[in-house]
Chain A
Amino acid sequence: MKSVVFLVFVLMVSATAFAAETSSSTQISKKTVADSGGLLSSSSNYAARSAIGQAISGTVTSSTNSLCNGILCKGPVTVSVYSGNNTNVEVLSDINVSVRFFDMDNNTYPAGINGTIWFEQSDGLFAGYVCTSDSAGVCNVAVQTTCDIAGSNRRFIGGIRNDPRYPDVNMTSYGYYTVDATAGCGSTASTVTFSMEIDSSSGVLDGSTGTSSSKRYGCISNPSLSGNPSIGIVSSGSTFRQSNITTSGDAKRIDITEYLSGNKFVVPVTTSGCDVVSTNVPVLTSTESFTSFVETTVNPLQLFVKYSDIDLDINNNVSARGVFTLSISKNSQGRIVVTKG
């Protein structure tokens, strides 16, 4: 009888050691849902999904006599959501979720502990992503979302799994996340971003860098140049979403994002700096007949001839009024020079 008990013990130790090695070799900080390295799917993982569905108790006491690598597991441990609960993200962007482990026996947040966070893909079907706790006991995963998992109030749950020192234990309740189903999951796009990057050491950004859901424009001016020329992007479409202004060295980048429906972007190329841009943004977005940032007093009637096959001398500028004599000549370069006599 003793030999039988000993054989069972050896098998348990071997199996636990193998599981620990497998977990270590597949540790990832980020995986897509389609990446089978972190995805628990198909019938081989059915048991794991069942366990998740039961939302394992958050506290396991040593009295359960759980063995970890053949010795009693540490603990008891609690698992709680550290960040990412009730997150709302767009399709194709990352959802970041962290859970934190707390060793109640030692009153510590243990580092280097193997964990898994499970994300609901469709109703009742979860996929797990492994992580390792940092020095603060925080275990984080970032998962790129897809149209396949779009939906509201999807559940997630995280905990310790396949760790050589602690027993498997999950949060006591689910966290939730939402993937915006309108963002790029239909037959057309949802949002459009127009971006311009200007590399200028003397260019000056209007306002500060960062993302804003209320500032509908970005502008760069150059007060050191005559006329203080400015350039930028203004959202003039019906559904502004956000602006994002960034810098990198001398480069200044403006990203303006709108919803696709009714999109329109305006690129002002003006004088007098960015003030004429910022002050005109409300006008631009509220009227269909906006014509210019720097106001022109009138739309004067002009009568003119413009030559495509005759070159006027490029420095030939005349402005006159009244009755006068006009001299028209051809210079040595074959160009026409018109002067007031």
Chain B
Amino acid sequence: MPTGAQASWTDGILTIAEFFTGNATGFIAGFLKALLLIVGGIVAWLAKGLGFALVYATTTHEYTFIRDIWILARNFVNMLFILAMITMAYASILKLWPNYTIQKMLPQVLAVAILMNFSFAITITGVEIFDSISTTLLANMQDAMDRIAPALSIKTFLSFDPYSNTASIPKSFFSILMYGFVGVSFFIAFVFVLIKIPILWALLISSPVALFSYLIPSLKKKVWDRWLSEYIRWNTFLPIFLLCLYVGLYVLAQQDAIIKVQQPYGNGAGILGFPLSVVFFYLLVGFIFLGGTAAAISGGIVAGSGAVWGATKAKQMTYDALGITGAQRAWQAKVKEIEKSGLKGQVGTSWVGRASDATLGRLYKGEKANEEWQKWWTNAKRFGASESQFAKNIGDEKKSLQDKDASIEALRDILRKKNYEDPETFAAAQILLDKGKLSLDGMRDVYQKYAEISPRAAKAFGDKIAEKVNKQVEDGEITGAPNLNKALELMAQISGADKTTLAPLAAGETEQEREKRIVAFEQKTEIARDRIKELLKKAKKKDPNWATERQILRQTYEEKDEQGVPQIKDYITVKNVLGEKLREVPGGLTPEQELEQGLEAAIAGLNNNTIRELPSSALDPKPENRVFIEQLVKMLSQEGHRIEKIMDDATPEQLRKLELWLDVAQTYALTSSIQDLGSEFQDLQQELNAEEQRLSTNQGNNAPQAQQVARDAQRKINSLNKKLSAKEDALKKASADLRAVHEKLSLQENRDKLNAAGIIV
């Protein structure tokens, strides 16, 4: 038998002549023996091929011709950049494609333009880094070919001699199977190692195009993400495969030791005549080679996808860190936000002495920091400490009350004092709640106080309330419509579905902050709705005759003004008011659609963005849009800054539809202004009369003091006359406009629209 590295390659290969000269005992035995020898030969040749491919794939190549083709691709993409700039210019000037304006695209275009020209160097560096890892692994295995071939020698590999005539049919069959594992693994690896090379070339060449596709949202996912995924996948495949191969070879080299270790557990007949220790070894080898190859292929895919995910996540994290949540946030908005809330980093707790030195928030905290400081200081003064100290104080008091074993009555006495300056009150409430002895009114009052002082503590307390109330309803401890209504109201309050949550854009609040608040509200209303539904279900189980869900919701949330007209209280009321109206319409909406519309209308009535984003049909004069339009008109007649925000980003179609509702809103605004002006005019007139009286009384008097009073009165009269003249002018203007707007609204076309919407002007 030849020795040495090269000679060992022929070890596993038996010639056909050898087969025919063997003493096969029967046809099957002979066939299997031949098959075994052929498979062994193929595996050995595959090992040789794989060895060659591995060396070739990890050798540094001259990439001159690839670079030439890459230059062509780069030049082509550079031309595309000119096209991109023109597109951006048109998009910015004509507002044709809002996603491609200069404000949104410029930073990306610049970054891609620079990176694209270095894409060859960057991608080739990546390839070389992974190749160096592979080379290191190969060197670690010394000579791959030398290591693979002897290990695969049939004699070494099998626990019997295939050249001998003693090899049984089962042994031969089982050995072919084992050999098959290794062969398939080597074949797949061989193919992948070979095709890796041209694929990486193609990826190198296409890198400028891939980078350019990053700029086009519709192509980014298809081209850039895929390119990056493939690039990582084909680069990581080889190191992973080599690692598995190294383990496999090591196991093969340790064949004797492994079989020996297993012998005490499997020296019997085993399977098909093999001892169990040998079967175990074959299975291990098969698993390592096949599994290793599969892991290398799928591992590459995972690594590729992971890289794409990582890149996206990294970008998002960078944006988050910088506070950029959307390209559409213009620089101006950002500056305003920073002015208001300071630099990100520690704003949430940015009062002097608490912010970390390392944070940006330390550098510039903005007005928000002052506000938060004021808020904290107010509470600190009240409780002698911060929120956490407040919680600690309550905890101490609670412990003290528990130690004293205070009776329920004593705890209720503490609560009845309603001394919310004292942490003992909260402690008593907590104990009563734990014991299920806190009334619904008590829960509401304490929760409200908690919310004023510490939102964090309020949330924890609210969750506990929700849990207790649910249990009490389930146990039948809360019964009857008034109590159940109270419980429902409490649930809605805890979930934040109240008017305060829906407050319009607060003074100085940025769009970004408001949007966050709206999102929070939407989430809360979802929770509220679910909680209420859950509660109703339980309540109905206990008291089936209580009421229908709809009736309960209406009873609970409907508010009426002096004239008995239902007023909007929150989203559920909107839903009901809208629902009622819809039920009058033949073929009205389903309850689910009602709910959806109601929610939509409620939210839309209170935030500009939603109004703009709503389909234009929401402004159509139809009964089902009445609530929405009423809210809109109410807002348009009261708040200039809301009109400003809505108009400056609305589409012409929306603006045209809004014209009618602006007319209605102007009617309301003018009517109310005329009333105000009228009363101001009367006040001024009375003041004037008084001054004139003072003047006439003192005018004839020659005493210096009287003369002075007369002069003062005259000055005031002049000033009042000026003011009166201005008011008169305003009144005239308002009256004339009111006439004009009434005339406009009395046109048949407008009257029809108003009637159709059920709006009375």
Specify whether A and B are partners.
no
State the B residues within 8 Å of A (CB): none
